[in-house]
Amino acid sequence: MIPYGRQDISQADIDAVVEVLQSDFLTQGPQVPLFEESIAGYTGAVHAVAVNSATSALHIACLALDLGPGDWLWTSPITFVASANCARYCGASVDFVDIDADTGNLSLPALEDKLRRAELANCLPKIVVPVHLSGQSCEMAGLAELAARYGFRVIEDASHAIGGRYRDAPVGNCAYSDITVFSFHPVKIITTGEGGMATCNDAALAESMRLLRSHGVTRDPSLMTAPAHGPWYYEQITLGFNYRMTDLQAALGLSQLQRIDEFIPLRHAVADRYDQALADLPLKLPRRMKDSYSSLHLYIVRIDTADSALSHREIFDALRERGIGVNLHYIPVHTQPYYQQQGVEYDPLPESAAYYREAISLPMYHHLGKDQQEQVIAALREVFGQPE
Ligand SMILES: *Cc1c(COP(=O)(O)O)cnc(C)c1O
């Protein structure tokens, strides 16, 4: 089976991890701050806080922005459940904004419409989480204008999007948001095994997230309530978690980051090849918007159900039978049993529903071989009865 995504581990990556294993620190050593500095440098953000997953990063980002019971977080339903769960960890409620049909990202017109209604009902969101689906940035400038007008904060779920750019600047620089979150799960652009990062430009937010990722414990005298009793002294000043990244993971991340600017153009070459080879099939190919340079985490096609003799499910099954590890990103989150049990009456989200009836993620990773990609293309053409 050709998978839809796969990590690429080099000898240099292995050597970097082994070197940490032979060193004094497996965790809380020098590698994590080095990785943080490198991600800050790469994205242009002032601060970067490493954690053990993007899910943890989303959680502490919400806490740092004071999300709590009685508050609302809005996101788009075409995402992984973690984009919404972060609000529930904080006791806040979640509502969903429909997607843009071309990009699968949160629709700004739908958001504006929902904000207008929420203002009248006095239930505006405290946080909106735009998800950069498949690595293509949302329209962040327009979103930032709405954030200023309606007074909400913005956390970018850029789990797919490290290496992507928006308006010629790296995703993660937080020019239009409070915090950006990245994932380093093995299927993502670069990996640390498990791992995540939150970037921001605000020192207080970064400080707060650093405390929350490590038990709420500090050794910084300026944050303590009492003078130190001695050199052993630390204080717990808030309730935090153990969300720390290990030095093994950070070393892997540092090594992977050195190759990211090779990975992304290779992903674009894979996408270009799909664009050409699939153009005449009854498929909607992914639109690449002019304001953003996608990291191309995913290559999502949509079945033109009106034009295709086979159903979505039949096409999906036929591809899997031919050894093509297609997938579906994602099941609309608000339809999950857990979110159906929340007692929230969600708006109809017709674009998300249409997306779910049509979307298929094709294999997409930078080292997908030419032969393998030809296999994917041949299988698709065969399934549609249009062999090359
Ligand atoms: C992968 C992913 C996450 C969660 O990332 P982890 O690092 O596995 O916690 C969150 N949001 C989106 C959109 C993702 O794709």
Q: Contact 43/277 with Cβ under 8 angstroms? A: no
- For residues 348 and 63, give the distance between their C-alpha atoms in angstroms, rounded to a whole number: 29
185 lines ligand 1 (CB under 6 A): yes
Is there a single domain that holds both residue 108 and residue 178? yes
Domain contains 343: yes
Last-in-domain residue among 199, 232, 257? 257
| Closest atom, ligand 1, to C-alpha of 58 | 10
155 lines ligand 1 (CB under 6 A): no
Instruction: Report yes or no on whether pTM surpasses 0.85.
Output: yes
| Closest atom, ligand 1, to C-alpha of 195 | 7
Longest dimension (CA), the chain: 77
52 lines ligand 1 (CB under 6 A): no
Q: Contact 73/67 with Cβ under 8 angstroms? A: yes
Q: How far is CA 343 from the centre of its chain?
A: 27
Is there a single domain that holds both residue 195 and residue 158? yes
Domain contains 183: yes
Is there a single domain that holds both residue 89 and residue 197? yes
Is there a single domain that holds both residue 250 and residue 356? no
Domain contains 3: no
157 lines ligand 1 (CB under 6 A): yes
User: 60 alpha carbon to ligand 1 midpoint, in Å?
Assistant: 14
User: 332 alpha carbon to ligand 1 midpoint, in Å?
Assistant: 15
Is there a single domain that holds both residue 193 and residue 290? no
Domain containing residue 209: CATH number = 3.40.640.10
List the one residue out of 49, 25, 30, 26 whose CA is nearest residue 39. 49
Last-in-domain residue among 202, 233, 257? 257
Domain contains 6: no
Residues taking part in catalysis:
188
Beta bridge partners of 49: 198
User: 55 alpha carbon to ligand 1 midpoint, in Å?
Assistant: 6
156 lines ligand 1 (CB under 6 A): no
pLDDT in the model for residue 388 = 79
pLDDT of the chain, 388 residues: tens digit per residue? 999 999 999 999 999 999 999 999 999 999 999 999 999 999 999 999 999 999 999 999 999 999 999 999 999 999 999 999 999 999 999 999 999 999 999 999 999 999 999 999 999 999 999 999 999 999 999 999 999 999 999 999 999 999 999 999 999 999 999 999 999 999 999 999 999 999 999 999 999 999 999 999 999 999 999 999 999 999 999 999 999 999 999 999 999 999 999 999 999 999 999 999 999 999 999 998 999 999 999 999 999 888 788 999 999 999 999 999 999 999 999 999 999 999 999 999 999 999 999 999 999 999 999 999 999 999 999 999 988 7
Is there a single domain that holds both residue 283 and residue 169? no
pLDDT in the model for residue 306 = 81
Domain containing residue 277: CATH number = 3.90.1150.10
List the one residue out of 235, 234, 240, 243 whose CA is nearest residue 212. 240
53 lines ligand 1 (CB under 6 A): yes
Is there a single domain that holds both residue 161 and residue 212? yes
| Residue from 4, 52, 55 to probe ligand 1 pocket by mutation (most atoms less than 8 Å from CB) | 55
| Closest atom, ligand 1, to C-alpha of 196 | 7
Last-in-domain residue among 242, 257, 272? 257
Is there a single domain that holds both residue 357 and residue 369? yes
80 lines ligand 1 (CB under 6 A): yes
Is there a single domain that holds both residue 84 and residue 163? yes
256 lines ligand 1 (CB under 6 A): no
Q: What is the dihedral of CA 77, 80, 86, 88, to 10 degrees?
A: 60
pLDDT in the model for residue 293 = 97
189 lines ligand 1 (CB under 6 A): no
User: 158 alpha carbon to ligand 1 midpoint, in Å?
Assistant: 9
Is there a single domain that holds both residue 25 and residue 127? yes
| Residue from 52, 80, 129 to probe ligand 1 pocket by mutation (most atoms less than 8 Å from CB) | 80
Going from the C-alpha of 323 to that of each of 244, 260, 303, 319, 370, the distances in angstroms are 38, 28, 19, 7, 16
Domain contains 1: no
| Residue from 185, 192, 249, 298 to probe ligand 1 pocket by mutation (most atoms less than 8 Å from CB) | 185
| Closest atom, ligand 1, to C-alpha of 79 | 13
Tally of CB atoms within 10 A around 39: 26
Structural domain of 327:
260-383
153 lines ligand 1 (CB under 6 A): no
177 lines ligand 1 (CB under 6 A): no
Which three-class secondary structure string do you get for 308-377? CCCCHHHHHHHHHHCCECCECCCCCHHHCHHHHCCCCCCCCCHHHHHHHHHEEEECCCCCCCHHHHHHHH
User: 201 alpha carbon to ligand 1 midpoint, in Å?
Assistant: 22
| Closest atom, ligand 1, to C-alpha of 160 | 15
Is there a single domain that holds both residue 276 and residue 249? no
Domain contains 230: yes
User: 146 alpha carbon to ligand 1 midpoint, in Å?
Assistant: 25
Is there a single domain that holds both residue 224 and residue 97? yes
